Structure 1
Amino acid sequence: MGFTRNTFASAALGAVMAVGAASIGATPAKAVDWIMASGYPESNFHTQNIMEFIEDVKESTSINIELSPNDTLIKLDAIKTALQRGQIPIGEIRLGVYGNEDPMYILAGLPFIAATYSEAWMLKDIQKGYFDEIFAEQGLKILYYTPWPGQGFYTKFPVTSVEDFSGKKLRIYSTATQQMGEMLGFDATILPFAEIPQAFSTGLIEALFTSPQTGIDIQAWDNTSDFTYAGAIFSKNAVVVGQSYFDALSPEDQAGLLAAAEAAELRGWEMSAATTAAQIKTLQENGMTTATAPAPVIEKMKEIGGAMMETWRKDASPEAQAVLDRYLALQ
């Protein structure tokens, strides 16, 4: 998948050293109890990574985090607002949901802009300073980022050409993927993850563009028969803490939390990269036909990605455009 521990050995070494330093320097402190909201079930690798992160935090700090996954505390799309209001200390968000706030949120969601894990990692690093600033203005701090696996089409028919998409009702998850879907010929609708099964049952949607992980989470085989993998997009989630909650921690706990987050970021990217083949196999075991998108579909998506990038520039600030230019210069 283009993302291995060897590829990012320096990042791994930094994470290990940071964890070790935090552990050595940590001193007993008053226990801090936090609740955390996330939007996905425990079977999801994002949630599994969060649970490991929580264990690392517990071992190296005085912070105890109680996780409420799968929208059980707060719906996924409302978690960022709850964090800004101080209702919860920490939560997981999906960056692509917030394209109406700033175009930077959807840059990684443009098809074939960052089409491999290595490219997505580089884009993440270049975006980091920009995101740090806008989240700081909202009283928030991003602890780490984790990418979704590459994306594909869940349909009730084999995909042989772009014409197969014409007029079909597609669920997507962001303004960027909505635009892509419409340019491919779909009737594209943004819907929250939790509403997908009901939308199928009522006929609101008849296809999805999303990751193998999401397809398993919602048992896509109940409503579709074919999965056509395109790669194309490695959108990201982020684990975010309220700045006031972070500032209230002791210096030792702050260091331990950041060290655990650094380790979780690297682990999450590795988990994402490792999961695609296994999850496609799971789709097959549940009766779905899987295939790689045919060349005409890939070429059309690349063409759409280039057009969307130019549209993105028109809405982006000079500072945001500078982030994209720096990324493209390193390609």
Structure 2
Amino acid sequence: MFLKSLIRGAGLALLGAVMAAPVAAKTTWIMASGYPESSFFTQNIRQFIEAVETRTNGELTIDLRPNDSLIKLDAVKRAVQSGQVQLGEIRLSSYGNEAEIYNLDNIPGVASDFDQAWKLMEASKPYFDQMFGKNGMRVLSYVAWPGQGFYTQQPINSLADIKGLKLRIYSQQTQRLGAGLGAEAIILPFAEVPQAIATNMIDSLWTSAQTGTDVQAWDFLKVFTYTGTMHQKNAIIVNQRAFRQLPEEVQKIVLDEGEKATARGWRMAEAAGREREQMLADHGMILGKAPADVLARISEIGDELTEEWTQKAKPEELAVYETYRASLK
């Protein structure tokens, strides 16, 4: 009897210990993005999510809603800030009306290749950390866009070929650029491009090879003329409150995988620029390089916009630009 009681007691104690053992809480985040699955931005995010879920043994899972399927791209930052979603991907230049720092890498010629774009990112990170932190968010990753170009019906052989185009652009700076080149520049989200072409609202695009393939520009335009010019950045941002609710070891994994997504995304952006241009060609588009007078005019407009930017920027924003310029020497 004593032995049975001892065994029974040990069994109950073991059961109690098992029942009392802490079970890792599982958390699911919702993430919003404006780009389709074919985009290297989305593919990079998918790898980020897979790594986070694997390293946390499913303690944190992330439900990605891409291609504007949940929240429109321009509204993602507000959705993350308010906690409507925990994670989001944003295009920094979309918020140029909020702070001049968002406009800096959207000025032609400020960061005209990937190396310069990386140095500008490094110079900007402390300022963005502080600014997003004050607003309840945190930046996990930055990824640059490939260089820009014109999508048109006819080849661009001189500056005169741009005059009068109804040109789709995506920011105040690119609107100034288009107007300075003699085009009628119209701001439109890329998802609205096919409809705008069909209704003759626009007849040309200013964007990257990546976006051109995302909207299948070969269905309505014939020529892609590359200029380089700008390498703006997207960012993955997280709601700070949601982030702080994670266990410390999970927070570290998220931050680590965010850094890896930055390095990986930069490589993917460079590869995507080449691959997407080839895809345009494979679908029958004519590829070309911008002529000298177009590049010269773009440079002039960039200098004008940079001068204006330095006059409007806060001292702290100007310090970012000066730090960046020093890194180029």
| Residue 142 of structure 1: aligned partner | 139
Give the whole-Å Cα distance in 2 for the aligned partners of 1:28 and 1:314: 56
Structure 1 match to 2:285: 288
The answer as to 2:37 corresponding to 1:42 is yes
Deviation digits for residues 1-32 of structure 1 (CA, Å, limit 9, x no counterpart)? xxxxxxxxxxxxxxxxxxxxxxxxxx983111
**TM-score for both structures, normalised by structure 2:** 0.91
Q: Is 1:212 aligned to residue 242 of structure 2?
A: no
Query: What is the CA–CA distance in structure 2 between the aligned matches of 1:208 and 1:190, rounded to whole Å?
Result: 10
CA distance in 2, matches of 1:167, 1:39: 30
Q: Report the structure number with the largest CA radius of gyration.
A: 2
What is the deviation of 1:136?
1.1
For the pair 1:133 / 2:130, whether they are aligned, the reply is yes
TM-score, length basis structure 1: 0.90
Which structure 2 residues correspond to residues 178-189 of structure 1 after superposition, within 5 A?
178-189=175-186
- Following TM superposition, by how much is the alpha carbon of 1:161 offset from its aligned partner in structure 2, in angstroms? 1.1
Among candidates 118, 133, 137, match of residue 115 of structure 2? 118
User: In 2, distance between residues paired with 1:278 and 1:267?
Assistant: 16
Match of 2:143, as an amino acid?
T
Which amino acid is 1:37 matched to?
A
Q: 2:90 aligns with which of 89, 93, 105?
A: 93
Residue 275 of structure 2 corresponds to which residue in structure 1?
Answer: 278
Alignment partner for residue 80 of structure 2, among 78, 83, 87?
Answer: 83
Secondary structure, counterpart of 1:65 in structure 2: strand
> Percent identity of the aligned residues?
48
The Cα of 1:204 is off from its aligned counterpart by: 1.1
How many corresponding residue pairs? 305
Residue 330 of structure 1, CA deviation: 2.3
**Structure 1 Cα separation of the partners of residues 163 and 67 of structure 2:** 33
> Which blocks of at least 5 consecutive residues in structure 1 are unaligned?
1-26
1:155 aligns with 2:162: no
SS at match of 2:142: strand
SS in 2 for 1:309: helix
Q: Taking structure 1 as reference, are residues 233 and 164 closer, same or farther at Cα in structure 2, changes over 3 Å only?
A: same
Whether 1:228 aligns to 2:194 is no
Structure 2, unaligned stretches of length 5 or more? 1-21
CA distance in 1, matches of 2:34, 2:309: 28
Distance 2:123 2:31 in 1: 27
Q: Deviations over 1:35-59 (max 9, x none)?
A: 1111111110000000000001001
- Cross-structure match for 2:54: 59
CA distance in 2, matches of 1:106, 1:63: 34
1:268 is aligned, of 265, 269, 292, to 265
- Using the alignment, how far apart are the partners of 1:122 and 1:201 within structure 2? 40
Cα offsets for 1:49-107 (capped at 9, x unmatched) = 00000001001122100111111111111111111111000010111100000011111
2: CA distance between counterparts of 1:280 and 1:223? Answer: 16
**Is 2:310 the counterpart of 1:320?**
no
**How many Å separate the matches in 2 of 1:276 and 1:145?**
17
Cα distance in structure 2, aligned partners of 1:113 and 1:286: 32
Change (3 A) 1:266 1:279: same
- Distance in 2 (alpha carbons) for counterparts of 1:106 and 1:197: 27
Answer yes or no: is 1:196 the counterpart of 2:193. Answer: yes
Give the equivalent residue in structure 1 for 2:6.
none
Tell me the residue number matched to 2:16: none
Q: Secondary structure at the match of 2:280?
A: helix
Distance in structure 2 (CA, Å) of the matches to 1:94 and 1:309 = 20
Amino acid at match of 2:271: A
Task: Detail structure 1 runs of 4+ shifted over 6 Å in the superposition.
Answer: none
Structure 2: distance between partners of 1:324 and 1:307: 16
RMSD of aligned residue pairs (Cα, Å): 1.2
